[in-house]
A = this chain, B = another copy of it.
Amino acid sequence: MKYPNNLIKTYKKPLTYKNRGMDLENELNESNKYYREIDKALIYKKPTPIGVSNVIYTDKGKVIERGFFKEPSTLDYNGLYREKYIEYEAKVTKNKTSFPLANIHPHQIKHIENVLRHKGIVFLIIKINEIVYLLRGKDFINYINTHERKSIPYEFIKDVGYKIKYSYRPALDYLKIVDEIYFNGGNQ
């Protein structure tokens, strides 16, 4: 998806938020595509849940004439890695000091707890201050269970999360971090 240049540079427009979100999403989609190509992992972004209110039939097939975005109850990405179930959510914040918890729906928080209990690998990928962190589901749940805050301080993410470095291919080699924390004596 391309936006005109002038919109990319107006950092306060809502479109830019979306665009920043799309950057991380594209980087992860590209990385997952690369992982599939080298047969390392099968991880896909789930389609955005959409409610279809009206469908018409055209010569090009069924076309949606009215639809709406629904709230997700699971996380955005899931799949299979090293014979394990893996699931995560990716979020970008332009906030510099904390990650607002409004980014994660209550159903999703419950779902993270469920996946942990069923021994799946689950985490968040958070881009904050232009740095990408992996925050384990376990650490995320621990934080929200022990703090009465509406956001997670950047300091916590920096201390407890794992930095994912940018590289050429894959753009974000997050499975390297997953290897370190989930497959080398680490726990979920």
A64 at the interface (CB under 8 A from B): yes
* Beyond A50-B50, A81-B118, 14 additional pairs, beta carbon < 8 A: A36-B114, A42-B118, A46-B47, A47-B49, A47-B50, A48-B50, A50-B52, A64-B68, A65-B66, A67-B67, A80-B115, A80-B119, A83-B120, A84-B85
A45 to B47, CA, bound (A): 11
Residue A4 at the B interface, CB < 8 A? no
Is A69 a contact partner of B61 (Cβ separation < 8 A)?
yes
Does A74 interact with chain B (Cβ within 8 Å)? Answer: yes
A140 to chain B, nearest CB (A): 17
Q: Which of A43-71 contact B (CB under 8 A)?
A: 44, 46-50, 52, 60-70
Is A117 positioned at the interface, with any CB of B under 8 Å from its CB? yes
Q: Measured between alpha carbons, how far is A41 from B118 in the docked complex, in Å? A: 8
The oligomer's copy count stands at: 2
- Categorize the interface residue count of chain A: 35 or more
- A108 CB within 8 Å of chain B: no
Is B74 a contact of A63 with CB atoms below 8 Å?
no
Do A117 and B66 form a contact, CB below 8 Å, given A48-B50, A85-B80, A85-B85?
no
CA distance A50 to B83 in the complex (A): 29
Chain B nearest Cβ from A163, distance in angstroms = 27
| 17 cross-chain CB contacts under 8 A | A39-B117, A42-B120, A46-B46, A46-B47, A47-B47, A47-B48, A47-B49, A48-B50, A60-B68, A62-B68, A64-B64, A64-B67, A64-B69, A65-B65, A65-B66, A80-B119, A83-B120
Q: Is A151 an interface residue (CB 8 A)?
A: no
Asked if A78 is an interface residue, CB under 8 A from chain B, the answer is yes
